[in-house]
Amino acid sequence: MSDAVRIDGLNHRFKEVLAVDQLSLTVTAGEVFGLLGPNGAGKTTTIRILTTLLPPQQGTVEVFGFDVRKRKMAVRRLIGYVPQALSADAGLSGRENVALFARLFDVPRRERRERTDAVIEAMGLSDAADRPAGTYSGGMIRRLELAQALVSAPRLLVLDEPTIGLDPVARAGVWERITEVRAQTGMTVLVTTHYMEEAEEFCDRVALMHRGRIRALGTPAELIAQTAGESLDDVFRSYTGDDLDAGGFSDVRTARRTARRLG
């Protein structure tokens, strides 16, 4: 099977902070791959590089064989990206938000209407599609953002903390929709999450990242067996140890950002 993502020897430094440190990683086409790690591990930096938002400083990154440095537009056409920060406009209806993304991502004019309706339905938003997104619940906003990312029929869907700040019912709703679309299209999903039970349930393979490096890589079952733990939570703790409590400012920032986006 071909590779959806191939990262080789990636380094990225922000002044004195080495955010990504000699990262090498392959995501196989069709799998759901989870990038896990505590705050500040380097997950978002990696995702920003792979979605072409940040140029790589050192190393190579390819998406379906296209180099993110040399073939930026080709890579963008293959990716649907839901960032941590809010990407829907509260003043536009759900349908208008998705239609805007269809135009931005060059969905052919004659297909826009049909594709917009299809992703809105797939995300369970048909009844609310003509209401302003500002009236949506947190879970509905996330599903709207998924619809926006899916309207261009990406081969790789990249999700940065898709369920952060949502209640368990809304979290389950988001995963249910992702799972359904994936079963229908066979697209590859790369997701970061802090919720270990979600990674365990929905990811085919996970990489545990800590201080810019991959510390463990495999199926959830393999990692649990390797660390003689009972769950991915135990695996996470065994690799990150006390640093779990070291989130500090970053944790607060994440929590505030979440509260803001849902408020």
Ligand X SMILES: Nc1ncnc2c1ncn2[C@@H]1O[C@H](COP(=O)(O)OP(=O)(O)OP(=O)(O)O)[C@@H](O)[C@H]1O
Question: Residues interacting with ligand X, by CB under 6 A?
Answer: 14, 17, 19, 37, 39-45, 250, 254
- Nearest approach in angstroms of CB 2 to ligand X is 27
Query: Which residue's CB is nearer to ligand X, number 45 or number 116?
Result: 45
> Cβ(41)–Cβ(209) under 8 Å?
yes
- Nearest approach in angstroms of CB 19 to ligand X is 3
Query: Which residue's CB is nearer to ligand X, number 19 or number 178?
Result: 19
- Nearest approach in angstroms of CB 211 to ligand X is 8
Residue keyed to tokens 């938000």: 97
Nearest to 121 by CA among 138, 139, 98: 98
> Cβ(44)–Cβ(200) under 8 Å?
no
Nearest to 62 by CA among 125, 70, 54: 70
Query: Which residue's CB is nearer to ligand X, number 44 or number 152?
Result: 44
CA dihedral of 75, 63, 53, 41, whole degrees rounded to 10: 160
- Nearest approach in angstroms of CB 240 to ligand X is 11
Query: Which residue's CB is nearer to ligand X, number 8 or number 14?
Result: 14
- Nearest approach in angstroms of CB 17 to ligand X is 5
Beta-sheet strands, E only, within 103-246: 156-160, 188-193, 205-210, 213-218
Query: Which residue's CB is nearer to ligand X, number 39 or number 116?
Result: 39
